[in-house]
Amino acid sequence: MNEGEFEKALERGFAGMRARRGPCPAAEKLAGLASGELPVDEAASIRAHVAVCGACDAMLVRLRKFEEAKADDLPVDAREERMRAKVFLGRRVRRGAVAVAGYAVAAGVLVCGYLGLLPRRNVERTVPSWDTVESIGLNRVRGGAAPLAAKASSRFVILSFFVDIRPDLRYEAVLDGGEAKSVTSYDGVGNFHLVVDRRLLGTGRHVLTVREGNLRTVEFPFEMK
Amino acid sequence: MRPEDYDARTDEELVASFQASGSEGAFAVLWRRHWARIYRQCLAFAGNQADAEDLTAQAFTRAWREAHRFQGGNFLAWLAVIARNCCVNHVRSAWSRLVTAAGDEITAMADQQHDAQGSQEDRTFSAELEQLVNQLPDEQRVAVKLFFIDGYSYEQIAGLMQCDVKRVKSYLQNAKRKLQMLWFEPAEAKGKGSGT
């Protein structure tokens, strides 16, 4: 086989590997393989899958590094106080804040109810047609790398983004330093959707800032065509 | 137990004390003893300081919340499993959109090329190629599999591997060159071992 034939054969070879792949094992099995805790037979079958699966191989590489770091005794360079605050201080603040917020909301609802200010259910709302809503995914790692496009006919744009959340904290999103909007992860894991008016996303650079309580902010810089 | 006594206690005694009274002092000692080790492991996994700090805090917070489930044994090993799960979930969440998006394309690619898998010669070549691919260095091997087998785009791989597109292209180019070199090496030099 010469070099030109080899190039073509590569494609067929990779297709063959793809065909042998089968379903991915659970992450626990990969972790077991990385730590050497799997029985020999099972380890061999997981290894055979990893040999033809990029996603599992990538995860296994990371899990091996995790295991290897056990033996490492080198001092670490990290902001320990920041982590400690998240674990300890965050809890105390949250406990207090939740109690205060709970009483405040209950009191507010009672007063509004008494004064007849609570919203009525049958209020008509204008719901945009789906033709006029567009979805754009933001990625912190690749943020701003390539300009994003939204159709001129879109009235609203759904910005989708991911923040590694803690379920008991409150999150706010701010577009270009504007008004802060409270946001909630729709899957409880950290994936968010934020609906914004298309007119706010003019040509040029924008930044979506997500605030995690008072602990940290995560920025998603991006550019619109 | 007075707070000053905590330092003299074993991990397991501290957890028992925390389970019984919710004593923050007991948990603070566990934190002091183990945060650096857990952080080091999270850093090795995540590859960057910011994520490692978040994952460490997340692991301890989860351990705090789930301490009642600890049923004795080695506390640090239990904590390390929690940290590992946090790491895996973190990566999965970040990958989930990319994986879902590519899933349909991969199936389509597999269907399209199903007929091309027929000949014995192709199967033999594919098996030999698998051996060669698994001799590549970690980054090249993962990039090759994600691109040629899993069907991800350069941009998606950059996201998965936390590097830029230029780096991904360089991994792929070097990997192809190395595969070619390995293939045209004398037969006895091939198949020295597997990278996975």
pLDDT tens for B14-62 read 989 888 888 888 888 999 899 999 999 999 999 888 899 999 999 999 9
Strand arrangement of the beta sheet that strand A156-162 belongs to:
A133-137, A156-162, A191-197
**For residue A6, which residues of chain B lie inside 8 Å, CB to CB?**
180, 183-184
Contact B113 A88 (CB under 8 A): no
Instruction: Answer left, alpha or beta for residue B162, where phi above 0 means left and psi between -120 and 50 means alpha.
Output: left
Q: Which of B33, B54, B147, B161 to mutate to test binding with chain A, by most A CBs within 10 Å of its CB?
A: B54
**For residue A11, which residues of chain B lie inside 8 Å, CB to CB?**
148
Residues in chain A: 225
Pull the structure tokens for residue B25: 């002092």
SS3 B48: coil
- Return the C-alpha torsion angle A11, A57, A137, A186, nearest 10: 140
Q: Which residue of B has its CA nearest to A215?
A: B54
CA distance B1 to chain A (A): 20
* Integer Cα distance of A216 and A188 in angstroms: 19
Instruction: Answer left, alpha or beta for residue B49, where phi above 0 means left and psi between -120 and 50 means alpha.
Output: alpha
- At residue B134, the pLDDT reads 92
Q: Inform me whether the C-beta atom of residue B152 falls under 8 Å from chain A C-beta atoms.
A: yes
CA distance A72 to chain B (A): 8
* Integer Cα distance of B184 and A79 in angstroms: 50
Give residue for tokens 């919340």: B65
Q: Which of A35, A45, A164 to mutate to test binding with chain B, by most B CBs within 10 Å of its CB?
A: A164
- Count other Cβ atoms within 10 Å, centred on residue A190: 20
CA distance A178 to chain B (A): 26
ipTM of this complex prediction, to 2 decimal places: 0.83
SS3 B126: helix
CB A86 within 8 A of CB B50: no
Least confident range of A3-7, A102-106, B99-103: B99-103
- Count other Cβ atoms within 10 Å, centred on residue B167: 16
* Integer Cα distance of B86 and A66 in angstroms: 12
Sign of CA dihedral B130, B132, B138, B139: negative
Q: What is the full per-residue pLDDT of chain B (196 aa) written as tens digits?
A: 565 578 888 999 898 988 888 888 888 899 989 999 999 999 999 988 889 999 999 999 999 888 888 888 899 999 999 999 999 999 888 777 665 555 444 444 444 444 445 677 777 888 888 999 999 999 999 999 999 998 888 988 998 888 999 999 999 999 999 998 888 876 655 554 444 4
CA distance B163 to chain A (A): 8
Q: Which of A3, A11, A18 to mutate to test binding with chain B, by most B CBs within 10 Å of its CB?
A: A18
Sign of CA dihedral B56, B58, B61, B62: negative
- At residue A116, the pLDDT reads 63
Q: Which residues pair with A182 in a beta bridge?
A: A172
Q: Inform me whether the C-beta atom of residue B124 falls under 8 Å from chain A C-beta atoms.
A: no
Tell which B residues from 69 to 108 touch A, by Cβ distance under 8 Å: 80, 84, 87-97, 99, 106
Contact B97 A137 (CB under 8 A): yes
Question: In A132-142, which positions are buried (b, 16+ CB within 10 angstroms) versus exposed (e)?
Answer: eebebbbbbeb
**For residue B80, which residues of chain A lie inside 8 Å, CB to CB?**
70
Pull the structure tokens for residue B13: 């005694």
Contact A13 B134 (CB under 8 A): no
* Integer Cα distance of B48 and B41 in angstroms: 11
List the one residue out of A28, A142, A20 whose CA is nearest residue B145. Answer: A20
Contact A66 B41 (CB under 8 A): yes
Q: Taking residues A21-41, report their average pLDDT.
A: 90
